[in-house]
Structure 1
Amino acid sequence: MRTSVSIFFLILNFTGYHAAAQDRHTDSLLEILHTSEHDSTRAHTLWMLSDLWADRDSAKAVDFAKRSFQYTEDKSLLRGLAHFYLAGAYYSYDRLKSQQEYMAADTLLARFTETGALQYRSRAWHNYGALEQQMDNSSAFVNILLTKAIPLAQAAGDGERVAWNYMDIGAVFMNYKDYVKAGQYYQKAIAILHNKQYNNRPVLAECYIHQAKAYVLQGRPDAADAPLQESFRILTSAGDSSYLPVYYLVRGMSHTRMHQWEEAQAALNTGLSIARKQRLAYDAISLQYELYEVYKHQHRFDKAKLALEEVYNGYREYPIAQNGRTILYELAQTEAALGNHPAAFSRLMEYTQLSDSFFTQKTGKEIADLETKYRIAENERKLLRLQNRSQLQQLLLYFGGVVVAFLAAFFIYVYRQRKKREAQRLYTMRQEQEIQITRAQLEGEERERRRLARDLHDGLGGMLAGVKLNLSAASHHKNERQQQDLEKVIGQLDDSVHELRRIARNMMPEALLRSGLTRALEDLCRSMDNQHMRIDYELLNLPENMPQQEKVDIYRIVQELLANAVRHSGATDIFLQCSGRGERFYITIEDNGKGMPDPGRHNEEGLGLTNVRSRVSYLQGKMELDSRPGNGTIINIEINVTGDKAL
């Protein structure tokens, strides 16, 4: 069993082995496979072999991954990992099968709450999204990272993986030239890595490099020097050369923007040499493109063309349309600068064919605008020619002008309505995405609350109860003084058990599960009532036929409101009223406390009120807050408890 566990953790770092040692590793792993008596060890060994061959022979990688299924049980954790590694074997040559296997892995691993299972689920969703990005669906990739990969990595406590995912989001924004937004996500990643004390880890170095690149592309090459120096310090300290090509790329870009051509070429050629030695194809492409930029600014178009053609040949392995358009357009410009006009025209036609629907629509609109302007100018010329004709002709022309104006107004109205509908559709899509993210966050919180409540109640609670029994048994054999001391300790232990169970009930109230919402709210109010603060409540017509999740959401809203009042208001009296009427649920809470300085400024509210607003928004409700310093606070909430979510 000890061998199996060690191999399991070895898999997480196995991809760092150098390609030159692959044959030796293959022999040693095959020896383990043939001599081991444990199925789990054989399965882990086969996965390592599959990873080892994934970049050299996909058929072998798939075969090793499939063989591991015979050593795993159906619906087990190991079976989920088997699907994960089979997906990795398919990754480079069969995207559809790879995505199917990643989803099969996630379905099986979702039954387990171990940290390793959460990490693998996060990796599975990340890789699934990366395949979407390879199919030029970057928006799906970003959505998957935000709603799946990042929450799972956070639940696993894997700060490094969270930072990696933030960097991937930053890279997408870089591809679409939103360098400010990209820089924000890189800064998020840096903050996480610093908090996790990864100050000398290569991942932090890469993050600094990307942040420097964002500065360069924003037109701030001077700001890039500090993060570049920090990244080089980390890489030198860690002895990791795999990130050096990207470092020299950004260093070269910085020199290019400052017109330091010789320094730029030196940095880029150094990076290109390292990338070729380490067979880092994508890094080599990026360095070649930046060399093209240097040659273009120096008007050395023959060298620029050679560099750009190498970039275009390598781009076909990483086909993102935005990159393809840029490369083809630059090739057309370079051919034109060399006087190769037929070749320039050919490249321009390829560029036009690759343009997506957005550019097609934009071009169509520009053509339509030109046609409208032409027609208006033509009508004006006709009017000038007909000025000296008869009165009847003038009247007819006037009537025609009115018709044209009416039609123009009509088309403008139709165009504006279409734009409004499109804006509304985009707004609705953003709202739906925000609701999905909110729901995922709330569900994650509830799952974590339930897990912690079970751990506290069943684990630590049981242990404390056992300690109490042992102390009680031991007290019978002690003298009177020792018995008094033990009874005092037992009393303190009783208080600790009661407090622990109170915390567990707050995290996942048993009354809500057993007796319904009304009983749970009554218990909540009674538990928070004390001699310094009285809580009066009125619960009218509370519907109990709601889905369980909606009951939990309402309970959490009331719990958060009462907790805020107890902690921050300084009130002596609190009144809570909850009622149901048809498809609506109403919550009102009043206190006689010190009030809030400026309740209209949402961005200065605490985390508690922010969580309440998130839940109210998800339940399609509204929240009103009335508070002034010294006059207490009144909060009214109205939410929907039926509709699509309740079906």
Structure 2
Amino acid sequence: MKTYYSFIIFMAIALSGRAQLPLNGKHYADSIRLALNNTVSDSAKARSYFLLSDYFIRTADTLKSRQNLQQGMKYAGGNKYLRSVSLVYRAGAMPAHDADSAAKMFLQADKELQSFKTIDAFSARAKCWHDYARMLQFTSDDLEGYVNMLLNKAAPLAKQAGDWAYLGKIYLDVAFAFKNLTDFKKADEYLILAIKILRNAPGSSSYLASAYHTISENYSLSGKSKQAAAMLDSMRVLLQPYPDSDAWLDYYAGEGMRLTIAEQYEQSLAVIGKGIALAQKLGQAYPEQRLLMQKFYALYNKKDFKQAKDVALDLTHRYPYMTQAANRSQLFYCLALTSEDLKDKAGAYDWMKRYAALNDSLSRSTLQAKINALDIKYQTAEKQKKITKLEADRQKAVLTNWLLGIASITLLIITAFLIYYYRNSKKLAQQKELNHQQQLKEIEQQQQLKFTQAMLTGEEQERQRVARDLHDGLGGMLSGIKIKLSGQAKAGGHQELDGVIQQLDHSVTELRRIARNMMPESLLRLGLETALRDLCESLMSEQTQIKFQAYDIRKDMPAVIQANIYRIVQELLSNSVRHAQASKIILQCSQNAEIFLITIEDNGIGFDTTAGLNAEGIGFSNIKNRVDYMKGKMDIESVINEGTTINIELNAAG
């Protein structure tokens, strides 16, 4: 459970990243306005208005951004350099739905600025490529292109300009890209580089604070609580001169997350409380609600389910938090879990229904799986009752036989005939008992076979259905959500949604990979031999060689037989690659009439066959169930540190 909640905490932070503004944001804007009043030259006024336009873009005030941009262009007049610079700010202020025009404008700006070899021109071009890369990332989701532009275009220009603060920001954005891919090690490398640069660069305090906060998250989620605390301490020292900066909200969120993951729940709640108070003071509604969600996780992991539920219920009435479907879905699911822990089954069911309404395809699949599991459990219980009744009848029969035996002994004293009769009766009773035991065993075996057949058939059907639902249903939904979020990010200037969009894209790719593995298309379209060959190729790597040999495999076998054979081979290869750590594997499959033979050899670590197959986990259990279902037999030879050979003979008659 700890892993799950750590993941949820991470997601909450990823969903709510804060735009990088100066730590003294209002003072920053006021100082530019003051400079405007004291400035005489038109070029200086144009630059100041461009800076104000960029500031209001980052505060999501598009109206003021356009107004200041128009003023800047007015004062730029016929100045060729300033007109070229204005293209950078104009492109950055364009709405998300007009990305093509913005891209052309960024490229035009860079082309025109190339004729100027000044420090200011290099800085403007660095900003141009940085903002262009960020826009492309939002619209096309090209993470590779995004990182390539930052490192090969923007970074060299920032170095030429000697703009170390902006270079540090570029490295920080590269780190964000790797962080969103959950490559924390690579993200740490760029974060450490960014921090090293930003510590010595003037005017970089907001970027440095963000770098401290981001690397603390990486350390917390990697279990490095001490390193996370050190980075947060550095952030706190940096923010102390700015008690009203909204960057403190990131600090409190990061510290709260670190303490919750470290299971220091009381300290976490205290820190989160300070953050909530500051958010209320600054009128920051969404950061306050984000901190309330952090408070819920601290209370829940503390097992204070009552207070956790109260916090979550309060959040259901909060806006703008509840305007995001992802937030609602997460909150409903948390309320369902909390209600269940409070033994409120009705409430848990109600919240799970709401959660299901937001996660329609996945919820229907999960609900159906639960219903099937309950049905199997019920059928198993009924069969167990029948077995218990038969056992009771058997015991009753045994008791009756004993009574007959006592009576027979009494009669033996009277007459030899009765002795003879008693002996015959006893033999007959013993034979009946054996027959009865055999019947019980046969009934139990038949029931077990039917149960296994139903389970395997249901498993394959469920694999196909879940794979189809995941690929066509949830995959499409996630792609749709990503497109909508991209649109919102552009329309509203929410830079924080970049992480969500990246993670959604990664999730869609992983989801479709899982769907293909659950029911390979090659098995359905091209048959068993091709599917097995594709399986071997997919598991091969530089460390593992797999040689596949197929002889006379028929293509007209029933689909269920092919699926069972495929799953058996899949489990065997998985054991050799993952558990046996084999570097060489030979797989041989052949068919003679209705007999299908499987032989697999590897040079892995082997195992002790005398310890029983149960010690090898659920893999061998699944293989044995499928072999029994196909009325086959399996032989295993294994030597420790030398390898394993498994021979399987199956009845492929269908």
Superposition TM-score, scaled by structure 2 size: 0.47
Tell which structure's C-alpha radius of gyration is larger.
2
